[in-house]
Chain A
């Protein structure tokens, strides 16, 4: 064993560069794998994690207070592992006008003395719990301090329900969606509660909605009939969560897969290269009396030292890098502080070194079986046909000799070339995919922010101590058009209609002004923009959910106002004021609409200061309440950041694969290099030769990799859109043009050249005098 260790240590010392490259590749691959796995884990299970942390309710049940007593409810425990409640529950309507789309009546207020308990442990992320009369805590996804301060939530200081005004003292988040608001039990008792809430965690099977319903029936069998008013299985919330997180998975999943593939390939190439180039060394060891098993051990020790070191450092970097990215992202979705789970740590620490050893085992065993004589003469075996014909043809070309020699190099070792090519290929695929992905997402985001205008304006809401403008919509429009910087204005008024043949009502946004020109027309996925009364356009999410197609005729009805309209187009999104569940219709006056039923959006001239503009709006009419609508979405920056980081990591790893190949070539061919120098090859010609050999592979890798990258882009974007239940206009896919494609080929060349440059330069500087005189 001591001999093995000594020989391995000597081998590591003699191959400093090899050892360093193995370590670096293990390091970067581990970091990539850890980030990718953490990402996959975070995208696939955020709901489950938060659900477990909050001890979420398998069922949120509401019972009729008139039919069943609290004591009966507490007594019914058939199949219940844990429960919370009974809590009084009042359903009240918000008497103020909507403070925003995120808070709409009716409101479910539950009386709870404390946020914790056996089930549904609430995350009170802002302010405190309601402890006294007149206090309320609202349910919302957590936002960090800065975001909270900017966002619409911080503006809500009180809500008026059932004639009582309640002061908002805190914000809490329930992943089980057990209530919209919480107050003290005494406070809720005054709101005339009709229901009693029970929160259950069951001990039996809860894998499906049906299973949850069965568990629930175990609880209700002893209770008076029809006392259960409503029950919400947790799958409802889980599906909703999957819809959001599901957008990330198809975007980022391919990076995880690419990362693992590149890791396997490069590690394989680096390690088998190290072993093959050590064949002579093996021969010497054997002639000294090392057994085959000892030879294998020497080689495995030689590669595992840098592999383990690299993996440890790589795991640390991966975790350190993934943590802030993940927690930032998933906090905004309401899934709290997302850490890197243990199994990812373990996979990083054990997986990559394991992979390295496994890859090393194949050539190491071959080395072990080799006879000493064979091993010593390895590498000087005569070469075969095709490579030689290529060399001959190249030798006769008009290319500078250093270039044609370089072009011939890859043919000398086809297996090594294939592995190098594969890693270049994956590098190019990754970069192409990341570029396409970011390009498309930026287009989607641009379409979205563009259509929303820069500034949204509604008349102030008196319920929030704001004054409401008394101007008519025509007057507000005139006022806004008169402000410096105004470029375009869209105006809408929303009305709710019953839709014949559909159970839930639909909102209709009657629009005029520049709504189409502000970007909604460019968002069309199908059909055309409306051009006459009686035509409507629907956002894709609404069309998909309600099964509407272009050409459908819809009958809408409210308070004697009946209209038959034809769907002529489908857009990507709805108006920011009303969300994706409202139809666009040409302008008409809505009887009985008050000034605050109107929504205005303004696009300002390039370079206009938004804060200044909003100030000017308020100064012109204090009854108008403007906000900045120019921000993008949450998904785009996250995905583009991840895509960029992972693409850079993988490109670096691919470049290291090239570096390793060139380093091995130099090692294998140092006699040839010495001879070439002795007959007058200049250092620059040496560099040219070695860099050309890899740049050629870069060109081929670029040309072959691009179609795969394009295909991945073509496949993944619609998949992601699908899981978000939307369709995207074709224009977002058209991010490619000849220039960007040429850049992608160039990127393959760049990876190859950058990887080759370092070892090529050191080869050019190498003093090879000694190898020339001695074999």
Chain B
């Protein structure tokens, strides 16, 4: 495998009881690519993302991310791996309600042992880049959806991940806030950030992704290269 390949799935299968959420999925994502995954509800998109993030283990098959076999790692190794190589954003932001925006973002670095000062400085840089510096002392409850998602993106970028995973990042946002988040993702990809985006939103896929993977019933039904709009 070359270092150019960031994600490599080989015959990944995930069963929940009787049903197979993933049924033999093989997929490669190269550095700098932006891949969008689409498909009907319940076809296994989030499950795929969990495999790539090491949040869950495949029933069979191999999951290799950034050159390491996630399916063979211990929970602790997985946590350390996520900490250093992955960033994740979710439809519902998943911010801690009782930490300020800045502390939510600093948290990602503090978990690795960075002192509070260093972590807050790095978080401030990101707040500046993402245009939410004036929101840093507010609590999640006081932020708009778009602002919350941008804080979540900042948190995902704290440790300069090799891969950014997003599950319906615009799913809970109105169209204007959704546009802002899309612009942000495009900018990130343009400076080399590898992206894997799960979405129902055609616009998001076509604006941000360079490749589209279509899912149905736990399998890849079609793959196509996109010309970005």
**Interface residues of A, Cβ cutoff 8 Å to B:** 380, 382-383, 387-388, 391-392, 395-398, 400-402, 408, 412, 671-672, 674-685, 764-765, 767-770, 772-775
B100 on interface, CB distance cutoff 8 Å: yes
Q: With CB as the reference atom, state the residue of chain A lying closest to B90.
A: A772
**CB pair B111 A680 closer than 8 Å:** yes
Task: Return the chain A residue nearest B168 by Cβ.
Answer: A773
Label chain A's interface by main secondary structure. helix
> B115 to A398, Cβ gap below 8 A?
yes
Cβ 8 A contact of B116, one of A397, A765, A769: A397
B76 touching A684 by the CB < 8 A rule? yes
| Bound complex: CA A672 to CA B55 (Å) | 14
Whether A402 lies near B111 (C-beta < 8 A) is yes
User: CB within 8 Å of A: which residues of B?
Assistant: 46, 49-50, 53, 55-56, 75-76, 79-84, 88, 90-92, 94-100, 103, 106-108, 110-113, 115-117, 120, 139, 141-142, 155-156, 159, 167-168
| Pairwise interchain contact B99-A681, C-beta atoms closer than 8 A | no
Among residues of A, the one whose C-beta sits closest to the C-beta of B49 is A773
Whether the Cβ atoms of B91 and A773 lie closer than 8 Å is yes
B120: A residues at CB distance < 8 A: 396
Instruction: Give the docked Cα–Cα distance between A62 and B203 (Å).
Output: 112
B55 and A408 contact, CB distance less than 8 A: no
Question: Chain A residues near B96 (CB, 8 Å)?
Answer: 672, 675
Q: Is A388 touching B82 in the complex (CB atoms < 8 A)? A: no
Other contacts beyond A675-B95, A682-B76: 7, CB < 8 A: A383-B97, A388-B98, A392-B103, A395-B116, A398-B116, A677-B79, A677-B82
Of A387, A765, A769, the contact of B75 (CB 8 Å cutoff): A765
**A769: which of B55, B107, B113, B141 is its contact (CB, 8 Å)?**
B55
User: What are 25 A-B interface contacts by the 8 Å CB criterion?
Assistant: A380-B97, A382-B142, A383-B98, A387-B98, A388-B139, A396-B117, A398-B115, A398-B116, A401-B111, A672-B96, A674-B94, A676-B111, A677-B82, A678-B94, A679-B88, A679-B156, A680-B81, A680-B108, A681-B79, A681-B111, A682-B75, A684-B76, A768-B55, A772-B55, A773-B50
A676 to B88, CA, bound (A): 11
Complex contact A772–B94 (CB within 8 A) = yes
Q: How distant is the Cα of A400 from the Cα of B111 in the complex, in angstroms?
A: 8
Contact A678 B107 (CB under 8 A): no
Q: How far is the CB of A378 from chain B (nearest CB, A)?
A: 13
Is A408 a contact of B116 with CB atoms below 8 Å?
no
Instruction: Give Cα distance in the complex from A379 to B117, angstroms.
Output: 31
Q: Nearest 7 pairs between A and B by C-beta?
A: A680-B83, A382-B141, A401-B110, A675-B94, A682-B79, A769-B55, A769-B50
Q: B81, B116, B156 — which one has the most chain A CB atoms within 10 A of its CB?
A: B116
Residues of B within 8 A of A685 (CB): 79, 111
Q: Cβ of B98: which chain A residues have Cβ within 8 Å of it?
A: 383, 387-388, 391, 408, 412
User: Which residues of B lie under 8 Å from residue A402 when comparing CB positions?
Assistant: 111
Could you tell me the distance in whole angstroms from the C-beta of A478 to the nearest C-beta in chain B? 77
In this complex, what residue of B is CB-closest to A381?
B141
**Shortest Cβ distance from residue B63 to the other chain A in the assembled complex, whole angstroms:** 14
Assembled-state Cα–Cα distance A774/B46 (Å): 10
A681 to B100 Cα, complex, angstroms: 19
Considering the chains assembled together, what is the distance between the CA atoms of A726 and B173 in angstroms? 79
Chain B residues whose C-beta falls within 8 Å of the C-beta of A682 in the assembled complex: 75-76, 79-80
Contact assessment for A680 and B55 in the assembled complex, using a CB-CB cutoff below 8 Å: no
Tell me, in angstroms, the Cα distance from A303 to B56 when the chains sit together.
Answer: 34
How far does the alpha carbon of A679 sit from the alpha carbon of B123 in the complex, in Å? 15
A396's nearest neighbour on chain B, judged by CB, is B116
A310–B97 CA distance with the chains assembled, in angstroms: 37
In the complex, which residues of chain B have a beta carbon less than 8 angstroms from the beta carbon of A397?
A: 116
Residues of A within 8 A of B84 (CB): 680
Q: Which of A400, A773, A774 has the most CB of B within 10 A?
A: A773
